[in-house]
Amino acid sequence: MGAALIRHAASYRSFAALALIAACAFASGIAHADDWGCQVILCLSNPGGPEQYSECVPPIERLWRALRHGDPFPTCNFGAGSSQGTFATNTFASSGYCREDLLYWGEAEQSELRCDASGAINVDIDDQLYTRVWWGVRGQVPTITEFYGAGSAQVSYNPTKSAALFLQQAEQQENGFGGRH
């Protein structure tokens, strides 16, 4: 039990460090121009999902609205020398950048491969992928959070290779069920 507790604590070490740095962003009082960007990165780095905590709901809902309108991803200036290598980037989803389980055949004739999410935000802490949040997911929960920090058993993958895997599996299924040989 002690080892499990230590692994659990280690998985949140980077998140806790980021939380400490960004804690002032949630404090009432003097606001800074980049507080929203810091709040967004803090909430997106939460292994439990960006809206797990009520304090994260307003800044994250604002982020979804901004991204849907094509606004740029917010930035956070952690200050000189602190949290280098900590950042978040948004990539709009497409058949070329998607989770394999979110790919589907679109259009009536099912001729176009599509992604069932609007985008993915990769959060890096200390230059390592920490979380990836798929947002604008249709037909499911609005976001899917993948956690890759310390203690995570999840294996990182490259979303640019998902379409090739999806098509390979589709071809294997077609060939295995009496399709073309």
Alpha-carbon torsion angle 161, 98, 66, 52, nearest 10:
-110
Domain count, the chain: 1
Q: What is the pTM of this model?
A: 0.76
Residue 73 lies in a domain: yes
Residue 171 lies in a domain: no
How much is the pLDDT for 93?
96
How much is the pLDDT for 14?
44
Whether the Cβ atoms of residue 35 and residue 74 lie closer than 8 Å to each other: no
Nearest to 74 by CA among 26, 116, 35, 112: 35
How much is the pLDDT for 172?
85
Please give the residue range of the domain that contains residue 71.
Answer: 2-93+118-155
Residue 124 lies in a domain: yes
pLDDT digits 0-9 by tens, 118-172: 999 999 999 999 999 999 998 767 899 999 999 999 999 999 999 999 988 888 8
Buried b (16+ CB within 10 A) or exposed e, 103-134: bbeeeeeeeebebbbbbbbbbbbeeeebbbbb
Alpha-carbon 69 to chain mean position: 19
pLDDT digits 0-9 by tens, 72-126: 999 888 765 656 789 999 999 999 999 999 999 887 777 789 999 999 999 999 9
Residue 128 lies in a domain: yes
Residue 126 lies in a domain: yes
How would you class 157 by CB atoms within 10 Å of its CB: exposed for 0-12, middle for 13-18, buried for 19 or more?
middle
Residue 166 lies in a domain: no
How would you class 84 by CB atoms within 10 Å of its CB: exposed for 0-12, middle for 13-18, buried for 19 or more?
exposed
Given a cut of 80, is residue 177 above it in pLDDT?
no
Residue 170 lies in a domain: no
Residue 169 lies in a domain: no
